[in-house]
Every structure is written in structure tokens, then in C-alpha cells.
Amino acid sequence: MNDLTHSLFVISRNNLLACRIAFFLSGVAMGAWAPLVPFARERAGIGDGEVGLLLLCLGSGSMCMMPFVARLVSKVGCRATMTTAVGAAILCLLALSVASQFHWLVVFLLCFGACMGTADVTMNLQGSMVERGLGRTMMSGFHGLFSVGNIFSALLVSVLLGIGLSPLSAVAVLGSVVAALLVAFGRHMLAYGEGAGAPMFTRPTRYVCLVGILCLIAFLVEGSMLDWSAVFLTTVRGMDISQAGIGYALFSVTMAVGRLGGDWLVPRLGERTVLVGGSAVAMFGMLISVLVDSQWLTLAGFVLVGSGIANMVPVYCSAVGRQQVMPVSQALSTVNAIGYLGILMGPAAIGFIAHLSSLSYALLITAGLLVFVALTSATVVRRG
């Protein structure tokens, strides 16, 4: 029986639960870095420019690793790849919690990014196989658990740091939680992958490149909220700097709730309706945030943006998993790599446009890109 037959017919409840845990753990590892940034900056004595370079290293490490993950998973399977990537990510976080020299922060962040890129592709491949094996739309819920993991680890590490634990101790506590979950559920992750016997690199099809560009747009909108929502609230809406983080918090919670409900919503509305309606809701939310001079309506707009884009990337991952022209593992690697450009380069591009004109104009451009999401929805769903 080949690996594709496994992925289509041998999926147990334990496999499903372990797949959900994999998405959660990936989110946990990623979310733990944010509270550590100010401590790393203080230990190394670096400024904003160096911090920006460090964040670039995180994304660069992910993108550099992604093209090789498909081959790795086909050789050793999802279970070995996922557990190794998450475990190595925690080790990198432990190193980042004590590194005091800039060059070591660069090295460890490149490694951390490589681990997260590996985990990202592997979790999506495993999710695609579980989804097809059970014959149900489940990717939105999987990605919702990634968001929950993000929020969980950011809050846990922040609380531990707030009560006086050192960064190393806080990460060690988080690492013990991750290790316990890996021991309990890791053995039920899929021991196989897809793409055995396929060439190491396959030329991406136009369809896969299109979906990658659409993921890039979704990640760009998400990145604009992560990096610029607080700046917009303080500089344009006059909100106190101590309260400006509420904008991204509302956006993140809405994204998580939207994705957790996506497994119920997407089958009932249909993928095309979710893409068209979601892009319309997100565009409307961005327009309200930018054009209406009200702090409360700006926050409401951020909520609409979060609810609108919540299920876009999960729908795209499901569509790529169904296409049969390109090996699924390599297709997902390609889509993830292109999409990550939205996180890596998007916020910087927004800053450049804001410098030339205004932040409001830059955010409106991100809203305009969502028109392309609506126009291509039929193509994505039909060919997927």
C-alpha cells in the first residue's frame, strides 16, 4: 500500500487529535518569541534597526528551509519531522532567552525560523492528508488551533515574566508543557508523508503560484495588523500608547474564533462564498478603520478585517491539497514560501509607502489587494 493510500483511508480519531495538537504546538512555539523580544533587545543593547534585522532573520530562516521540507517529510514522515521541528524550536527559544550578543541572536533566530518553517509546511501537509482521509473540511479549525497556540504561549510567557521568572525559566516552563503534549500525542501523528519517489524539486504550476500569491495577500493584511495597527491607533487616532495593543488583540481573537468556526461555516456557505464574502468584509473593515475618524469604529474595523481573512489561508491550503498536478507536499511548500513573503516583506513595504504618502493610504492599498482575492475565487475553488 503506498503512502497516498494511507493518507486516504487509514485516519483514526487519534490521528485527528494528534494533527490538531501539531497545529497548536506550532502556534505555541511561534507565539512564545514575541514576549522575549524586549529582553533580547536589552541584553544585547541593540536599537530598532537591529531588532528589525532580527525579525527579518526569523522569516528568512523559514523561507530558506521550506523548499526542502517536502522531500524531508516524504523520507521520514510527518511524525518525525513535526516532533523534531517543534522540539528544536523550543531549544532555539531557550538559547534566545539567554543570548546576549547580536550575532548569536541572528544565528539562533535563523535556526528558529528554519524550525518554524519546517513545522508550518509539515502541519499543513498532515492536515491535508487527514482532511482528505476523513472526507471533511477541517483546515480552518486546524489553523484556528494554531492561533489559539499563539495566544496561549504569548500570554503564558508574559504572565511568567510578569511574576518575576527569568526568560530562561519562563521558556523552560513552556517547554515542559510542549514536551508533555509531544509525549502524549506525538506517537499518533502520521508516520508517513506524501511524495515518495517524486523529484526533489518540481516546477510549480500556474495554479499553485496563483494560490501562493493569494496567500501572500492574506499574510500581508495580517502583517499590516501585527506591525501597524498600534502605530495607526497612536499616530492617526490619538490613542494612548498603553492601550494601542488592543487593536491587534481584537484582530487576533477574531481570527482565532473565525477559524475555529470555519469547519462549520465553510461547508455550509461554500469555499467561493467564504473567499468573496470574507474579502468584502475585510475590505469594508479596513475602509471603516482608515476613513472614519473614531477610535471605537477603527477597532470595530479591525475586528471585521480579522473575521474577513480568518478562513482564507485554510481554504487555500485545502484547495492545494486537492489538486493532482503537482505533488501535494511540494505544492504546499511552494505556497507557504510565497505566502511568507507577505509576512517578511509586506510590513516593510507598507512602511515605505507610508513614508512616501501616509499610513492611511498604505493600509487602503492592502484593502485594495483583496479585490484580487474575490476575482480569483472561482478559479481557486474550481481547479482545487
Same domain, 182 and 221: no
Q: Residues 59, 107: one domain?
A: yes
Residue 201 lies in a domain: no
Residue type present at position 201:
F
Residue 365: φ, ψ to 5°: -65, -40
Q: Which of 188, 221, 237 is the last residue of a domain?
A: 188
Half-sphere exposure (Cβ direction) of 4: Cα atoms closer than 13 Å: 10
**Each residue of 237-279: pLDDT tens digit?**
988 876 777 888 888 889 999 999 998 999 999 999 999 999 9
pLDDT in tens, 42-66: 888 887 678 777 877 888 898 889 8
- This prediction has a pTM of 0.83
Whether residues 183 and 289 fall in one domain: no
| Domain at 374, CATH number | 1.20.1250.20
Q: Is residue 13 a part of any domain in this protein?
A: yes
Check whether residue 179 and residue 217 sit in a common domain: no
Q: Treating both helix axes as pointing N-terminal to C-terminal, what angle do 48-96 and 37-44 enclose, rounded to 10 degrees?
A: 110
In a domain, 44, yes or no: yes
What is residue 200's predicted lDDT score, i.e. its pLDDT? 56
3-state DSSP assignment of residue 300: helix
| 338 shares a domain with 211 | yes
Domain boundary (188, 215, 239) is at: 188
Q: Examine the domain organization and report whether 8 and 121 are in the same domain.
A: yes
- Is residue 337 in a domain? yes
Q: Does 215 lie in the same domain as 112?
A: no
8/157 same-domain check: yes
Are 381 and 271 spatial neighbours (Cβ–Cβ below 8 Å)? yes
| pLDDT recorded at residue 7 | 43
Identify the domain containing residue 91 by its residue range: 3-188
Region of 197 on the Ramachandran plot (φ > 0 left; ψ -120 to 50 alpha; else beta): left
| 142 & 269 share domain | no
Euclidean distance between CA atoms 298 and 300, whole angstroms: 5
> Is 317 part of a structural domain of the chain?
yes
Q: Based on the domain organization, do 225 and 334 belong to the same domain?
A: yes
pLDDT over threshold 50, residue 1 = no
In a domain, 193, yes or no: no
> Could you tell me if residue 173 is inside a domain?
yes
Average pLDDT, the chain: 88
Residue 246 and residue 183 share a domain: no
What is the amino acid identity at position 366? T
Same domain, 216 and 166: no
What digits encode the pLDDT tens for the residues 183-205?
999 999 998 877 655 555 678 89
Identify whether the C-beta of residue 234 lies closer than 8 Å to the C-beta of residue 298: no
CB 301 within 8 A of CB 179: no
In a domain, 200, yes or no: no
Count of domains observed in the chain = 2
